Amino acid sequence: MTTTTERPARTDAPAVRRRTTKERLSASAVPARVARRRQVTPSVVRVTLVGEDLRSMSVLGDDQYFRLLLPRPGQARLRLPVTERWWPEITAMPEDERPVLRNYTVRAARPDVGELDVDVVAHGGTGPGSRWALTAEPGDEVGVIVQDTCFTPPPGTTHVLLVADATAVPAVAGVLASLPDGVTATVLAEVPTHEDAPDLPRRDGADVRWRAQEPGRSLLEDLRSTALPAGGVYAWVAGEAATATGVRRHLVRERGLRKEDVYFCGYWRADAPAYAD
């Protein structure tokens, strides 16, 4: 396991208003296009999207996510829903016109120039998101539905535990960058290769540990040998679904955390697609 050396935290980051999980942002799909694409590590592709409507997006920090709408293979023109009731609209579309929907974390946003960066773990042509990231060209059309954050630590949180595989590293980066001064953190991350070392903000009070390992093989093992403070802990866990569930079960049953103090999310499934295209 590799440990990241601590560095001073940023002090110029804007404060982020905390939401409860019941307070969701309403949003509709807006058109965007690919501005550029680059390989940032052997396994991660960064695609920059640009669009006039992205100039007015709400940038919330933390693990803010968005819905990416992609054209189907061979589709001449991307069709987007036009109201905030975008899901019923999409499901009502004929299958050959229905956009492919995937969820991604906002890696960086620059509303002043209408740009949004997304990091995609590329694993060949086995999924529409990976195929898109590997072949995206400037000018390609996409749709974007900007959404909210899921990181909602309760009052009194003094330590944050972040457990993630490569697909959740962008969210971990956003959370670390947004943590207020005085809140400590432990990060356990899993990436495909040593060349995929996670690019995370470095700050005082953050113990960052990462391992190059096949997904799901090391996170729970590393967590079992990791000491946590006696109180004030909020855990955020994301990545492969079975791994995230196992980590949450360990934290509640063996570490004594309350269920409401553990957020967990399966970004993908090792045994099947998360949902049909």
* Inter-residue contact 47 to 68 (CB < 8 Å): no
- What does the longest C-alpha to C-alpha distance in the chain come to? 57
The tokens of 229 are what? 């403070």
Side-chain half-sphere CA neighbours of 173 within 13 A: 18
C-beta separation of 60 from 180 below 8 A: no
Terminal Cα-to-Cα distance of the chain (whole angstroms): 36
Distance CA 219, CA 209 (A): 10
Instruction: Tell me what pLDDT residue 269 has.
Output: 84
Q: Is 90 helix (H, G, I), strand (E, B) or coil?
A: helix
Q: How far apart are CA 164 and CA 184, in angstroms?
A: 17
CA distance 271 to 38: 29
State how beta strands 115-121 and 141-146 pair: unpaired
One-letter amino acid at 220 equals: L
Question: Exposed, middle or buried by CB within 10 Å (0-12, 13-18, 19+), for 7?
Answer: exposed
Please, is 59 exposed, middle or buried when counting C-beta atoms within 10 Å of its C-beta (0-12, 13-18, 19+)?
A: middle
How confident is the model at residue 2, as a pLDDT?
60
Strand partners, 165: 190
Task: Write down the pLDDT at residue 15.
Answer: 32
- Give the predicted TM-score (pTM) of the model: 0.87
Q: What is the mean pLDDT of each run of 10 residues along the chain (277 residues)?
A: 45 37 66 97 96 95 96 91 95 95 96 97 82 95 96 94 96 95 94 93 91 81 92 95 94 94 91 60
107, 64, 60: which is closest to 201 by C-alpha? 107
CA proximity to 138, closest of 202, 47, 205, 46: 47
pLDDT at residue 20, rounded to an integer = 43
Give me the pLDDT at residue 51, please: 97
CA distance 185 to 182: 10
Q: Do residues 176 and 201 touch, judged by C-beta distance below 8 A? A: yes
